[in-house]
Amino acid sequence: MLSFPPDWTFLAQIIIFVIVWTCLRKLLFEPNLSVLITRQKRTTGATSEAAAVNTEALTLDKKYKESLSEARAEARSRVEAIYKDAEDQAKSVVDAARKDAEQSFLTIRGTLREEIEQTQNTLSRQVDEFAREISEKLLERSVPKP
């Protein structure tokens, strides 16, 4: 039972408690607390570092997508320019070929017209001769020249 005023054992218990508390605090509580604080700092630091890396990755991804989009647009415009140049060249080649063919056609037509005229002239000059030869063959006698 408790007696009033407490005896010397109560005072000894308080002294032993303070000694044990001090020893436990120095040997167990403070090292564990410092380890927990260090872990929290590392975790917080790692979390903030991960957030920074994530933000940087998102920024790099955005820049990559933008540059990829720009490269695609530039490639598309170059391809369109190449197609336009090719179409223009094809059109000029076709036009040149058409003009050349037309010129050749006109030249051939003129040559044929000249040859036809020459042949007609030659034939008209030789008609009398042909008629005489045909008459001689049909009549089987010679026909005098006119």
Could you read off the pLDDT of 54-100 as tens digits, one per residue? 999 999 999 999 999 999 999 999 999 999 999 999 999 999 999 99
Query: 33-37, 59-63, 101-105, 130-134: which has the minimum mean pLDDT?
Result: 130-134
Residue 135 CB: number of other CB atoms within 10 A? 13
Question: Who has greater pLDDT, 69 or 42?
Answer: 69
**52-62 burial, b if ≥16 CB within 10 A, otherwise e?**
eeeeeeeeeee
Task: Calculate the average pLDDT of the chain.
Answer: 89
pTM score, whole prediction: 0.44
Distance between CA atoms of residues 113 and 66, nearest Å: 69
Domains in the chain: boundaries: 9-108
Angle at 126 between CA 123 and CA 130, to 5 degrees: 110
**Rounded-to-integer distance, Cα 51 and Cα 46, Å:** 8
Give the model's pLDDT for residue 2.
60
Whether the Cβ atoms of residue 136 and residue 142 lie closer than 8 Å to each other: yes
**pLDDT per position as a tens digit, 113-137:** 999 999 888 888 888 888 888 888 8
Helix (H) or strand (E) holding 27: none
